[in-house]
Amino acid sequence: MTAEHLLADLVVVDFSELLPGPFFTQNLVELGARVIKVERPGGDNARALGPGLFAAVNRGKEHVTADLRDDADRRRVAELVATADVVVEGFRPRVLERLGFGPERLTQRHPQLVYVSLSGFGQHGPLSDEPGHDNTYAAYAGVLSLAGRPGGPPEWGPGVPVADLCAAMYATSATLAALRHRDRTGRGLCVDVSIRDCLAHWLNPRLGGFAHNGLSDVSEQRASALSRPGYGTFACADGTAVAIAAIEDHFWAGLVRGLGLVEWTDPRWARHAARRAATTEINAAIADAVLTRDGRAVVAELSACGVPVAPVLGPGDALDAAEAEGTGRVFRHPEAGRLYRFPVLFSS
């Protein structure tokens, strides 16, 4: 069963711009929804960042240009909203309310409507009117403090806008839950998605670990989050890098065998709890061993020993590898180039 038919009867009117809202509604498009994107004259600000980025998160949508300060355009958009199951907006609170398309007004007129507001800090609270982008949301969420190397300044650089995309995924699941509620009760819901709060929710597994280990200092928390024995990214002799994840004890045994780490074969290092105390020394020994080998050799040797290991691929290399798999995960878009399809498979 293909994903693009699952939401085939769903109509979405999308007022959002840039990345979080459009990526969220792009998920709905890929699941089969009809998404009508309403753009102000001049277009979504993402258009100024290049056609490829805009196309990547707005493909398959219908596009309508409307000036919501114009009476005729407002009437036209109101007619679209009357046909919708879901309305999505990504502005700061009360922006669309002032233009006549706020949640209270629309849900009174259309009780079955699911109205999704996706903003930096939610619709209420002391920061609700503050502007923001990915790194500022991460800073307020407490996540940025854990990024970067121990002893250095926090650095937010995972390569993708994690906070924005995280919130888009929460918005997707929350919207589907609200639609399920509507199916049961006949009434829609207002869905308030805070980008900061979504990213903060991802901290819960770490917070549990910090509490259990009594780590209250931020520098200790960062070291705990980033440093694990047998886990990390290591440079190879040919200029490539590999990611190794030998956390569990049986993976550790394979790592020692695969890299020939004779000095770490002592049974006292067989348990992860003991290795934690020697994290720096262990990872230095791994780094030294890996640096004498080419990346392909490291991957081959450790894979043969059952150790989780992978070459660090660039985006283009990863696309090449995905295409070579022949599973249809990659397709070509005329403006955005090669892109990935919706990553979840469905079957009856």
pLDDT attached to residue 244? 97
CATH for 227-311?
3.30.1540.10
pLDDT at 51: 87
Among 301, 300, 263, CA closest to 281: 263
Annotated active-site residue 14? The verdict is no
The per-residue pLDDT for 2 is: 66
* pLDDT score of 171: 99
Identify the pLDDT of residue 220.
67
How much is the pLDDT for 149?
73
3-state helix, strand, coil split of the chain in percent (to 5) is 50, 15, 40
- Domains of the chain, by residue range, sit at 11-202, 227-311
Strand bridging mode 337-340 / 330-333: antiparallel
The neighbouring-strand residues paired with 191 are 116
**Which pLDDT score, from 0 to 100, does residue 210 have?**
77
Whether the model pTM is above 0.85: yes
At 213 the pLDDT is 72
- The pLDDT value given to residue 209: 78
CATH classification of 11-202 is 3.30.360.10, yes or no? no
Domains 11-202 and 227-311 are alike in CATH topology: no
pLDDT < 70 stretches in the chain: 1-2, 150, 215-216, 218-226
Which of these is catalytic: 164, 183, 238, 320? Answer: 164
What is d(CA 160, CA 133) in angstroms, rounded to the nearest whole number? 12
